[in-house]
C-alpha cells in the first residue's frame, strides 16, 4: 500500500470521510515531497507523460468536461483510490477545473451538492470553481 498524503502536503484537500486528494496547477513546478500514485488531468489537450499512473479528461479551460460519463467514471475511480493511494487532480492553474473536480469528489464523499463548492473553497482554495457553469456542474454532478 502507498503512503497517503499528509495534511501538511501542498494542495491537499481532506474529505469528510478522511480521504485526501491533492489538487494542483500544472503550470507550477511539482511540489516537494511524495509524488502521486494516480493522477487525473483536466486539460483541453493531452498532458505530458508522468511517471505514475494517469488519466486524461478532455476539459478545456473555463469550460466543462467533454464527456459527463467519462468524468463521473474518472472521478469515481479517483475517489475510490484516494482511500488507499496518493491521488492528484490537476489542471493548468489548479483552481477552476481542479476545484470543480474536487467539489465533485466531495459530492461523492457525501457533501450535499449545493454545499460542495463552499466546502472546497473553505478547505482547498477560496477562489476554486471559477465560473457559474462550473458551480452548476457540481450541483448536477450526481444526476
How many domains does the chain fold into?
A: 1
Instruction: Provide the pLDDT for residue 62.
Output: 85
Whole-angstrom Cα distance, residue 106 to residue 36? 19
Which range marks the domain in which residue 99 is found?
A: 20-139
pTM of the model: 0.96
What mean pLDDT is predicted for residues 59-73?
A: 94
Residue 1 lies in a domain: no
pLDDT digits (tens, 9 = 90+) for 76-130: 999 999 999 999 999 999 999 999 999 999 999 999 999 999 999 999 999 999 9
Residue 15 lies in a domain: no
Instruction: Provide the pLDDT for residue 2.
Output: 64
Instruction: Provide the pLDDT for residue 138.
Output: 98
Residue 11 lies in a domain: no
Residue 41 lies in a domain: yes
pLDDT digits (tens, 9 = 90+) for 16-48: 999 999 999 999 999 998 999 999 999 999 998
CATH code, domain with 50? 3.90.190.10
Amino acid at each position: 500500500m502507498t503512503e497517503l498524503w499528509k495534511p501538511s502536503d501542498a494542495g491537499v484537500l481532506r474529505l469528510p470521510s478522511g480521504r485526501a486528494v491533492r489538487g494542483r496547477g500544472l503550470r507550477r513546478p511539482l511540489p516537494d515531497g511524495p509524488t502521486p500514485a494516480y493522477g487525473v488531468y483536466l486539460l483541453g489537450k493531452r498532458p505530458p507523460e508522468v511517471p505514475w499512473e494517469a488519466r486524461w479528461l478532455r476539459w478545456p479551460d473555463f469550460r466543462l468536461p467533454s464527456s459527463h460519463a467519462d468524468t463521473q467514471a474518472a472521478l469515481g475511480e479517483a475517489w475510490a483510490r484516494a482511500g488507499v493511494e496518493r491521488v492528484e487532480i490537476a489542471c493548468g492553474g489548479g483552481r477552476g477545473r481542479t476545484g470543480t473536480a474536487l467539489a465533485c469528489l466531495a459530492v461523492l464523499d457525501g457533501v450535499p451538492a449545493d454545499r460542495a463548492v463552499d466546502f472546497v473553497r473553505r478547505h482547498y482554495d477560496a477562489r476554486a470553481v471559477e465560473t457559474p457553469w462550473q458551480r452548476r456542474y457540481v450541483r448536477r454532478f450526481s444526476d
